[in-house]
Amino acid sequence: MKSKQTYRGTFCILTLLLVVVFLINISLGSVYIPFSEVIAGLLGEGASKESWQYILIDYRLPKAITAIMTGGGLAVSGLLMQTLFRNPLAGPFVLGLSSGASLGVAFLILGAGTIGGVAGGILLSEWSLVIASAAGSFLVMLAVLAVTFKIKDTMAILIIGLMFGSVTAAVVAVLSYFSNAEQLQQYIFWSFGSLGNQSWNGVFILTLCCVAGVALSFFSSKSLNALLLGENYAKSMGLHIKRTTFIIIIATSILAGSITAFAGPIAFVGLAVPHLTRQFFTTSNHSILLPAVLIFGSLLLLICDTIAQLPFSEYTIPINAVTSLIGAPVVIWLLVRKRKLLF
């Protein structure tokens, strides 16, 4: 077991590494901008070219902040789900939130194509996909919370969440089958996930949601530690299981729902990062794991985004493809090694 002082040093190194990767992410892209100009633009002095300043402030900086919020939020929500269900393969979307968001977007795209004209244009405005995705996630969250009030067994909640996901995925499949090629293409592009094209208003709302979800998670850190010992032992310690489960599901819903609404369904970050963090920190104490997965998740998604934008090239790769290519081998490696996952 490492000392608290050693953990502090590790957190300082990880935070410094996060800052370095953040600056590298902003510096690289299809348009070359000298590093000195990047620093000048970020410090408010302004880049020497107006086009550089616009790219930095209105495109790359919001995208990098979105990557930090998305990676950290998904990693924290994944840790919450794995602890609540004591299942190493649980992720932030096991409650069906991602499928609910997909259903909302599918209804919007198909509905807008059917309505057509001015009404269809309004439905496919800048904020429409965000609102539709958030509404779909919110409806599934309400259904899961309603089940939570009636059922005490957390494994039953997990199974019901998966069933909600299956039902919504089936409806999406039916809508996709009856949509035309253009509508299907638009839906597929959304499902790839995207950290770019975020306005500052969108980044602000996403940041507020992530801060709220992470704050609830840190508030529940002692309860999460108790849950690791089993529900019966947690009850003997005076833990209110139903209330704790409710708070954890609310936190996960806020994080996963808001991130899916603004960035689309980002795969594997929430599943892989908690395992990587446990291997690195070798602890099950959530007072340490929560900030650790927050930093690790942000760091991982920033690196994935840097790779996805193919620096010095005009092409970009879907962020979901990069996270899956990195996340899937990690999960396979963990299963093959059969190491104890500290549950």
CATH number of the domain to which 287 belongs: 1.10.3470.10
Q: Can you give the pLDDT at residue 3?
A: 54
When pLDDT is averaged across residues 60-68 and rounded to a whole number, the result is 94
pLDDT classification of 97: cutoffs 50, 70, 90: confident
Return the residue matching tokens 């942000």: 298
pLDDT at residue 299, as a whole number: 94
Rounded Cα gap, residues 134 and 262, in angstroms: 9
Q: Identify the band that residue 122 occupies on the pLDDT scale cut at 50, 70 and 90.
A: very low
Q: Which domain holds residue 74?
A: 4-337
Q: What's the predicted TM-score (pTM) here?
A: 0.88
CB 320 within 8 A of CB 93: no
Residue 342 lies in a domain: no
Q: Return d(Cα 171, Cα 177) in angstroms, integer.
A: 10
- Considering the chain, what is the average pLDDT of its residues? 83
In a domain, 46, yes or no: yes
Burial 215-251 (b: 16+ CB within 10 A, else e): ebbeebbebbbbbeeebeebeeeebebeebbebbbbb
CA–CA gap between residue 343 and residue 341 (Å, rounded): 6
Is pLDDT of 55 > 60? yes
- Structural domain includes residue 13: yes
Q: Is residue 181 part of a domain?
A: yes
Q: Does 159 map to a domain? A: yes
Helix (H, G, I), strand (E, B) or coil at 121: helix
Q: Measured between alpha carbons, how far is 240 from 259 in angstroms, rounded to an integer?
A: 29
Q: Judge whether 290 and 274 are in contact, CB under 8 Å.
A: no
How buried is residue 177: exposed, middle or buried, by Cβ count under 10 Å (0-12/13-18/19+)? exposed
Q: What is the pLDDT of residue 334?
A: 65
CA-closest candidate to residue 273, choices 28, 14, 6: 14
74 located within any domain: yes
- pLDDT digit string, tens, across residues 246-294: 899 899 989 988 998 889 888 888 888 998 888 888 788 899 999 999 9
Q: What would you report as the CA-atom Rg of the chain, rounded to the nearest whole angstrom?
A: 21
What average pLDDT does this structure show over 33-45? 84
- The percentage of residues in the chain with a pLDDT greater than 70, rounded to a whole number, is 90
Within a domain: 343: no
Instruction: Please tell me the predicted confidence (pLDDT) of residue 179.
Output: 81
Alpha helices in the chain (DSSP H): 4-27, 35-42, 50-55, 61-85, 97-115, 117-123, 128-150, 154-178, 181-191, 200-219, 221-227, 231-236, 241-263, 269-281, 286-308, 319-337
* Number of structural domains in the chain: 1
Per-residue model confidence as pLDDT tens digits over 313-332? 777 888 988 888 877 787 67
Task: Measure CA 322 to chain center.
Answer: 14
Q: Which amino acid is at 157?
A: I
In a domain, 94, yes or no: yes
